[in-house]
Amino acid sequence: MLTLARLLPPCPPTRPRLRRFADDLGLTVIVSTWAGVLLTLANGRPEEMYQQIVYSLAICLVAFVILNGARVLVWDDPARRRRWALPMLALVVVTAPVAHYSGIVLGGVLLGTGWPSLADYPTVPRLSMIVYTLLAICAVGLLILSRERVERIKAERAEARTRADAIERQALQAQLRLLQAQIEPHMLFNTLANLQGLIAIDPQRASGMLDQLIRYLRATLAATRLDSTTLGAEFDAIEAYLGLMGVRMGERLRPRLVLPDALRAARLPPLLLQPLVENAIVHGLEPSVAGGELLVTATARDGMLEIVVADTGQGLPGEDDEDARDDRDDEDDRGRRGGGGGGGGGVGLATTRERLHAVYGARARLDLGPNVPHGTLVRLALPLERP
């Protein structure tokens, strides 16, 4: 009883009732047709196959109407299901002889062969056919219940997957905002510290830096509150940041930004490029006496957005040594090089990689290597998303 009850869905069927009825009826027709064919083959009378199929269809259809009607009245109501398990099981047993006799009558009407009276009906061969009918009814019932159980499990899994996706999106947004918050204070603190020093020794340059800081804040503060921004806005923020660095470094900093108009509307996470540019300046160009060039380019290729940040600064240690480059990448992931590119405590390039992985997974990558003839090159590739 409990096993039968557990086979049934504990909630209203996910399919519309009319579609469920049609699906179950189709399955009943298929099983009853096969039952007629098997019975004919067992009797060794292939000439009677048509009649046997008609009788089998008639019997199974009568059983289907009885049991499906009871099922609609009882089993679709979760409150009644458990206490009606035994009565439904008894109904299945009773339905076998009722459906068999009614099916013989219906088949006789369709074939024009007549049918036995109730007094002449109970015979040993017909009792065996009643058992055969009961087995066929049970087989159809189990197939229907098993199919609905599979559908219920699929629906539950889909619902659980939807809930998991929603939770994952919320966690992702929280993670991105946390990583973003790690980047912003570092740049501001560095700029304010430089501004404080310039006020005392060079008020004019301090005023110029303050103007560039205001421009930078206008370009970035609105974007930090959004989940995504445009590549054009990101380049505008970089240009404002380079204006700040230009006040501090003067002619030692020679930047060049290349952004095709067709890519200005491309979407990407906000402040994704600033740590790369800041890294190039703080670790590549600023320590060099002669400074150098900074090139930031964006191109589209095979559905991917490729951004390159290249400097001609002092470069990375051990650039010509493959093992040294591998060690350097490992150190970068721990934040050694990234510390200057987005805040202390091991962010920067490592933070950018984390953000890329959080948003795009394996579809995005960030590669760090030497520039030619000297300096450092960072290549960022992510899916090209247009509005």
- pLDDT > 90? residue 366: yes
pLDDT value, residue 325: 44
Instruction: Tell me the per-residue pLDDT of 238-263, one tens digit each, with 9 for 90 and over.
Output: 998 888 888 778 889 999 999 999 99
Instruction: Lowest mean pLDDT of 70-74, 335-339, 377-381, name the range.
Output: 335-339
Question: What is the token pair recorded at 266?
Answer: 């491309």
Q: Of 67, 7, 63, 71, give the one whose Cα is nearest residue 32.
A: 63
- Could you give the C-alpha distances from 73 to 14, 66, 67, 79, in angstroms and in order? 17, 11, 10, 12
Mean pLDDT of 117-124: 79
Dmax (CA) of the chain: 121
* Choice between 251 and 163, residue whose per-residue pLDDT is larger: 251
Give one DSSP letter per residue of 76-129, joined into a string. T-HHHHTTTHHHHHHHHHHHHHHHHHHHHHHHHHHHT-----TTT---HHHHHH
Kindly tell me the burial class for residue 316, based on how many C-beta atoms sit within 10 Å of its own C-beta (0-12, 13-18, 19 or more).
buried
Helix (H, G, I), strand (E, B) or coil at 253: strand
Instruction: Lowest mean pLDDT of 127-136, 235-244, 263-272, 307-316, name the range.
Output: 127-136
Q: Does an H or E element contain 296, and which?
A: strand 292-301
Say what the pTM is: 0.50
Instruction: Tell me the per-residue pLDDT of 284-297, one tens digit each, with 9 for 90 and over.
Output: 898 888 889 999 99
Q: Which residues contact 203 (CB under 8 A, 6 or more apart)?
A: none
143 HSE (CA, 13 A, CB side): 16
pLDDT value, residue 223: 60
* Choice between 43 and 75, residue whose per-residue pLDDT is larger: 43
* Choice between 300 and 321, residue whose per-residue pLDDT is larger: 300
Q: Of 318, 347, 317, give the one whose Cα is nearest residue 332.
A: 347
Domains defined for the chain, CATH in brackets: 2-163 (no CATH), 202-383 (3.30.565.10)
